[in-house]
Amino acid sequence: MKDMITKEEMINHPVDKVWNAISKAEEISTWFIQADFKAEVGTPYTFTASEDKGCMKITGVVKEANPYTLVYTWIVENTDVETTVKWRLEAEGENTKLYLEHSGIANYPGESAVKMFESFSGGWAQCVDQLQSYLTKAIHAG
């Protein structure tokens, strides 16, 4: 049994470009989720997915923000459960190795996990669809 999710991805873009994408509000809002976010230690942030789609609000505080490590707490609305998301980038020539860690997931209460999972999962699927269509439009428009 584990409490943490880890992801690794080799990205064919320079480290500064990837860093901007994960740390600047405007860019986060484009590919990830509507973000009121500043990559400064101690600064609270809010991620908001459109409510009419049944999506959630996520809040937290930036814990670490030095190129190329970004750590923030991650609290889903109505759960009061604090988890932690950590992004770490390593330059490999013109490419970037991305490491993502999401820890504290075992903190979610067992009783309500199934219910939360169901509503949350549907919401996110819709958000992802929305994002994909947005990106497709943006690409064709540009």
Partner 1 sequence: MQDKIDKIFKAIADPTRREILHALVVASVALPITDISAKFDISRQGVTKHIRILEEAELVEITKKGRERIVFANPSSLKTVSEWLQFYEQFWDGSIKGLVDYLDNKEG
Q: Which residues bind partner 1 (CB under 8 A)?
A: 1-3, 5, 7, 9, 11-13, 17-18, 21-22, 27, 30-32, 98, 100, 102, 105-111, 113-114, 116-117, 120-121, 124, 128, 131-132, 135, 138-139, 142
Q: Where are the alpha helices (DSSP H) in 3-109?
A: 15-23, 25-31
Q: Which amino acid would we find at residue 135?
A: L
Say if CB 107 and CB 82 are below 8 A apart: yes
Instruction: Report the SS3 class of residue 75.
Output: strand
Residue 62 CB: number of other CB atoms within 10 A?
19
